[in-house]
Amino acid sequence: MTATLGAPVALTAPAPVRGTGPATLIDQFELGLDAPICLTWELTYACNLACSHCLSASGKRDPRELSTEQCKSIIDELERMQVFYVNIGGGEPTIRPDFWELVDYATEHHVGVKFSTNGVRINEKVAARLAASDYVDVQISIDGATAEVNDAVRGKGSFDMAVRALRNLRDAGFRDAKISVVMTRHNIPQLDQFKALADEYKATLRITRLRPSGRGADVWDDLHPTKEQQRELYNWLVAHGEGVLTGDSFFHLSAYGEALPGLNLCGAGRVVCLIDPLGDVYACPFAIHDKFLAGSVVRDGGFQQVWQHSELFLDLRSPQTGGACAKCSHFDSCRGGCMAAKFFTGLPLDGPDPECVQGYGEALLAGDREIPAASQDHSRTGKRKERNRSGPIPLTLSIKPPTKICDENPVSGMRPV
C-alpha cells in the first residue's frame, strides 16, 4: 500500500473523552478525542503494484469490500462527527471505479480528502480536475529518488509512473502535492535528492518510518535503517527538516536530543485510527492485526460507536506506566517508541522500540521472541515469504504466473471504469 499516515491535521476542537480539569493538548491527546485527528481509510486492498514492504499486504481486491452506499454512509457519519479530513489509501484507491464519486461525495459533505496513490491514474485530465479543487490533497508514493532504488522495492516502471503523476500535477497548477517516502536502508543516502525532487515538482516532502507490518514484516530486517543511518536521518531532520512532513514517524529519534517536529507520542486509538476496506476499525494504519481490531463500522453500530466506546480504544487511552522504558532518561521524548513496530517484531509492548536509539531494542531483538503470524494477507503473489528465513529476501517483484484469475487482476470482479 501507499502509506497514508500524514501529519496531523486539526479537524475538530479537542475535547477529552475522560478526565477533569484543565489539560495540555498532549494530555488531551493521551486521553483520546471525540473524533480522530488522523483518520486513515483504506478503500480497497486491490493494487496494481506489489511493493515488497506494503504495510497492508495489498494486491487482491477483497470481495467483501464496502459498497459505494456503505462508504457514503461512513462519510455522512464523519461529517456529523466533524471529521474535516480523511486520509484515503489502500491498496491503490484510485482503481476503485467509484473513487472519484466518493471523493466528490466527501468534499460536498465537508470532509476534505487527502489521498495516497502510486500515480497510476493521475493523467493530465485528472491532474486538471484535482487542481480545480481546494479540498483534495494528493500524496504520491516514491521510495527511491532514482528509478533503480525505487523500483527495487515498488516494482519496475513505478518510478516513472510516479514522476509522470507529479509532472502532470505541477503542470496543471496543482498546489503542494506531497511526495511520500518510506525511509529504508537504501534511500536514506538520498535524502537531499528527495528534497530536490520535491522542489522540482513544487511539492512537499513527507517521510515516514518503515514499520514491520504487512509485507513490511518480511523485509524489515533487510530494509530498516542501520543504527548509523538512524543518526544520519535525525541529523538531517534537525538541519533540514523545516517544511518536511513526518507525522508521528520518528519521535523515537527524539531520544538523541532535540525533539523533532510532529506528534511526539503514539497516537494509536487516541488520535489516530484506520478504517479498512471491509469497515473494520484498527488502532493505527500500521497495526492491521486482530490484536488491534477495535470493531466494525458495519456490525458494531457505526464508526462513532467504535471510536468512542470500543474496549481496545478505551484501554489505549488509559494511563500507561511506560513499562521497562519508564526508567529511561529519554522516556519523555521517546515514550518507548512505536507500538506497531514492537508488536510485529515480537517485542513486549511496554518495552523499548526495536529501533531504540539507546540500543535496548537491538539487545531484545537478539533474544528469544515470537513473531506474530499475520492475521490477513491480500498479496497477489500467493503465500507471503516466511519471516525468520535464512538468506536474503529478493526485493524484486514476483513474476510467477497467477494460480487464479483474480491473482492476476486486482480489479477482477469490479465494474470497468
Closest contact distance (angstroms) between CB of 37 and ligand SF4 is: 11
Closest contact distance (angstroms) between CB of 207 and ligand SF4 is: 14
In three state form, how does the secondary structure of the chain look? CCCCCCCCCCCCCCCECCCCCCCCHHHHHHHCECCCCEEEEECCCECCCCCCCCCCCCECCCCCCCCHHHHHHHHHHHHHCCCCEEEEECCCHHHCCCHHHHHHHHHHCCCEEEEEECCCCCCHHHHHHHHCCCCEEEEEECCCCCHHHHHHHHCCCHHHHHHHHHHHHHHHCCCCCEEEEEECCCCHHHHHHHHHHHHHCCCEEEEEECCCCCCHHHHHHHHCCCHHHHHHHHHHHHHHCCCCECCCCCHHHHHHCCCCCCCCCCCECCCEEEECCCCEEECCCCCCCHHHEEEECCCCCCHHHHHHHCHHHHHHCCCCCCHHHHHCCCHHHHCCCCHHHHHHCCCCCCCCCCCCCCCHHHHHHHCCCCCCCCCCCCCCCCCCCCCCCCCCCCCCCCCCCCCCHHHHCCCCCCCCC
Instruction: Decide if residue 286 touches ligand SF4 (CB under 6 A).
Output: yes
Pick from 268, 288, 293, 347 the residue near ligand SF4 by CB under 6 A. Answer: 268
Instruction: Decide if residue 272 touches ligand SF4 (CB under 6 A).
Output: yes
Print the binding letters for residues 220-259 with ligand SF4: x by CB under 6 A, - otherwise. ----------------------------x---x--x----
Could you say which residues in the range 303-342 bind ligand SF4, by CB under 6 A? 325, 328, 330-331, 334, 336-340
Closest contact distance (angstroms) between CB of 327 and ligand SF4 is: 8
Closest contact distance (angstroms) between CB of 64 and ligand SF4 is: 25
Pick from 266, 275, 312, 374 the residue near ligand SF4 by CB under 6 A. Answer: 266
Q: Of the two residues 216 and 337, which places its CB atom closer to ligand SF4 in the complex?
A: 337
- Considering only 77-85, 104-112, 121-129, 351-359, which stretch makes contact with ligand SF4 by CB under 6 A? 351-359
Instruction: Decide if residue 288 touches ligand SF4 (CB under 6 A).
Output: no
Task: Summarize as ranges the residues that interact with ligand SF4 (CB under 6 A).
Answer: 248, 252, 255, 266-268, 272, 284, 286-287, 325, 328, 330-331, 334, 336-340, 352-353, 356-358, 360
